[in-house]
Chains A and B, each alone.
Chain A
Amino acid sequence: GAGVSQSPSNKVTEKGKDVELRCDPISGHTALYWYRQSLGQGLEFLIYFQGNSAPDKSGLPSDRFSAERTGGSVSTLTIQRTQQEDSAVYLCASSLLSFDSILGNTIYFGEGSWLTVV
């Protein structure tokens, strides 16, 4: 696609419910990233995929969070048993090369999925 696409754009859910957030990166981009931005806070790195593999999942806030990527394309971030502190905007980004490539490459962000847990 023309840009990084995220869905849903807005989600209000009850505490304790599971939510699934979807990210469709730019076609051909091998690297995909998930970040979280809470109100008034900076961006918190969650997880990074190179292809379908996530080298390190330690950035995920708790074991209620999981992410997967299939076919080197679409990724889903799942939050189980949501809590109020999970309320934030979840941003997905993609890039052609790895973020730490010495060649340097621009990272493109989606518009985010705004999650509110009530």
Chain B
Amino acid sequence: KQEVTQIPAALSVPEGENLVLNCSFTDSAIYNLQWFRQDPGKGLTSLLLIQSSQREQTSGRLNASLDKSSGRSTLYIAASQPGDSATYLCAVPGGGADGLTFGKGTHLIIQP
């Protein structure tokens, strides 16, 4: 069964810093990996989708990389802003009909 771990669980940094969020998964036979953002009291917003054939994807200040062989993905946020404060979750297909398996997320606070 697929398991997803996200490190760190929480992170608080001053505005303007570049930061890296980590995601690891146990079953590397995945077709894709997705990063989401969740604001308090809200649903999830998809940030980036990386297909297994890709090594990275970029959207604005966000860059996500994928290393299937090592079962890892990182989300890089450049020049962080207070509006980036949220919980960031990564998810991979769980196998079979298990849907997506999510990590528990990294709770990010960007201090103004």
Please give the residue numbers on chain A whose beta carbons come within 8 Å of chain B beta carbons, in ascending order: 4, 33, 35, 41-43, 45, 47-48, 54-56, 59, 91, 93, 99-112
| Candidates A33, A56, A101, A103; contact of B96 at CB < 8 Å | A56
Bound Cα distance A41, B99 (Å): 17
Docked Cα-Cα span, A104 to B89, in Å, equals 18
Q: A59–B49 contact, CB under 8 A?
A: no
CA distance A4 to B46 in the complex (A): 13
| B26: interface (CB < 8 Å) | no
CB B3 to nearest CB in A, in angstroms, measures 11
Stretch at the interface among B11-19, B72-80, B100-108: B100-108
Interface size class of B (residues with CB under 8 A): 20 to 34
CB distance from B71 to the nearest CB of A (A): 17
Q: Which 9 A-B pairs have the closest CB atoms?
A: A56-B97, A104-B32, A104-B51, A109-B44, A109-B43, A55-B97, A45-B99, A42-B104, A43-B102
Closest beta carbon of chain B to A97's beta carbon, Å: 10
Q: Which residues of B contact A (CB under 8 A)?
A: 31-32, 34, 36, 42-46, 49-52, 89, 91, 93-105
Partner of A33, one of B42, B46, B52, B100: B100
Q: Is the CB of B31 within 8 A of A59?
A: no
